Amino acid sequence: MTATRLIAVNQALSPVAAPTSLQQVRYFAVGVAGQTGLVLKGTDGNDYVLFIDLTGTPNIGIQRA
């Protein structure tokens, strides 16, 4: 098993323009099996999938894998 660690050294800069919509992170307690996205291990030891939720205004979605 190979362990990988990702460290962000610099923080991304946001555009100076005002946001056009309110965005949020939505947690899906009951997820879709096989959801595509970025799989990360949580601090609780469980795997979670981060994805873009397009069921309305685009938001970041997270669900337990």
How does pLDDT run across 18-36, given as a tens digit for each residue? 556 666 888 888 778 888 9
Domain ranges of the chain: 25-64
What stretch of H or E contains 61?
strand 59-64
Quote the DSSP letter at residue 18.
P
For residues 60 and 54, give the distance between their C-alpha atoms in angstroms, rounded to a whole number: 9
Residue 64: both structure tokens together: 């337990």
pLDDT of residue 3: 65
Going by C-beta distance under 8 Å and a sequence separation of 6 or more, which residues neighbour residue 21? Answer: 57
pTM of the shown model? 0.61
**Residue 6 has what pLDDT?**
66
- pLDDT at 41 > cutoff 70: yes
d(CA 63, CA 65): 6
For residue 30, what pLDDT is reported?
78
